[in-house]
Amino acid sequence: MTNSQSQKPAASVTAKDSAVSQNNESPDSQRHAQKRILEASSLGDLEKDSPSLKKIKPGEAKDLAEAKEKTKADQKHDVAGSLSSLQNLESKSLAAGLARVKYSSTWKGSVADFLHDNGSARDAYYKTTSELADALQLLEQSGAAPVAEDGKVAGNVATRIVADGLDFLVVSKSGRLSGQAASVEDDFCIVTEFDPVQWSLTYYASDSSTLPTSDAPLHHAALRASREFQWDETPYVSLHGHALETADKAEQLGLPCSAKETLFSTPEDTRELLSLLKEYQFPLHRIFVRKGHGFVVLGKTTAETVETFKTNVVPFIA
């Protein structure tokens, strides 16, 4: 993608929603660390300090030790049961307090900075984000973007804009709160570059604490798949929500569904979507299900994509 000619100095992102920044460990090592934490969370160290055995009367030490072990086992069982009752890896990850965003990112400046000398791109941006703001509200109100375990809305939108010799991605921000009207000024980011090898991106947003959606890599892959897979038509808009995420539901509705469940915002997650897009080409297929993650709806315009969502997704949300 092409960056604006007028940019502010790059700044590494440091925000609680992000697992990594450019000055810390590599995204790959961070993802492995998150997986280890997630795997350990179901059987974590729940042992609390116990009374000193020095004050226990003879004969009671064994009983106390046995009771302690039983309590410890019961606590582990309760936590394991609680986590296993969650629907998928993503829910477990958020419930364990792990970060949503697992790519590294660099903030380049405000959206206004990027659009300053690009009139056509600016007009397209504000027209599109106004439409996408309505789509975000629809996702939430329909139940397709429920509140996740971390208290943030689990759904996002994106569009690809090609204008003024530029080719960039507009995505909703990470960690939107439920019940708030989407703001064109504050709730969208412009992604100018994404590196799938380094798993990193550069972006513009209202400030450096605002991050693109954790699913920015997913949208980037979907909206650039037409060239890779030689589709006859190119989608420019994508909607994503955490509904229809099971293989049974996808089969019931005749929707293509990925075979593997993965941790979200990772290269593995995007590869699973790309495997679907390679086999089930747009526009013959417009809705794709990531097992354990949710649906992705593709379209050439916002209106077309929203209509597909209303007709083929909304009626089947539990």
**pLDDT tens digits for range 156-192:** 999 999 998 999 999 999 999 999 888 888 999 999 9
267-288 pLDDT tens trace: 999 999 999 999 999 999 999 9
The residue with tokens 């790519």 is 103
44-90 pLDDT tens trace: 433 333 333 334 345 555 555 565 565 454 444 443 333 334 458 88
The residue with tokens 């530029």 is 166
- Res. 110: pLDDT tops 90: yes
Cα separation, 132 vs 109, in Å, equals 22
- Res. 299: pLDDT tops 60: yes
User: How confident is the model at residue 274, as a pLDDT?
Assistant: 97
Residue 47 tokens read as 């042992």
3-state secondary structure 159-209: EEEEECCEEEEEEEECCCECCCCCCCCCCEEEEEEEECCCCEEEEECCCCC
The residue with tokens 């299900």 is 289
User: How confident is the model at residue 91, as a pLDDT?
Assistant: 87
Distances (CA, A) of 274 to 75, 206, 260, 298: 41, 31, 12, 13
Q: Are 95 and 83 in contact (CB under 8 A)?
A: yes
Q: What is the pTM of this model?
A: 0.77
Distances (CA, A) of 15 to 104, 138, 152, 231, 266: 11, 27, 15, 38, 18
Task: State what percent of residues in the chain have pLDDT above 70.
Answer: 73
User: How confident is the model at residue 8, as a pLDDT?
Assistant: 42
DSSP-assigned letters across all residues of the chain? ----SS-PPPEE---TTBS--TTSS-HHHHHHHHHHHHHHHTT---------GGGSPTTHHHHHHHHHHHHHHHHHHHHHHHHHTSSSHHHHHHHTT--SB-SEEEEEE-HHHHHTT-HHHHHHHHHHHHHHHHHHHHHHHTTSS-B-TTSBB-EEEEEEEEETTEEEEEEEBSSPBTT----TTTSEEEEEEEETTTTEEEEE-SSTT--B-TTHHHHHHHTTHHHHHT-SS---EEEEES-S-SHHHHHHHT--B-S----TTSHHHHHHHHHHHHHS-TTT--EEEETTTEEEEEESSHHHHHHHHHHHTGGG--
Mean pLDDT score, 92-113: 94
Please give the domain boundaries of the chain with CATH numbers for all domains.
Answer: 27-95 (no CATH), 105-316 (3.40.225.10)
184-230 pLDDT tens trace: 889 999 999 999 999 999 999 999 999 999 999 999 999 999 999 99
Q: Are 113 and 204 in contact (CB under 8 A)?
A: yes
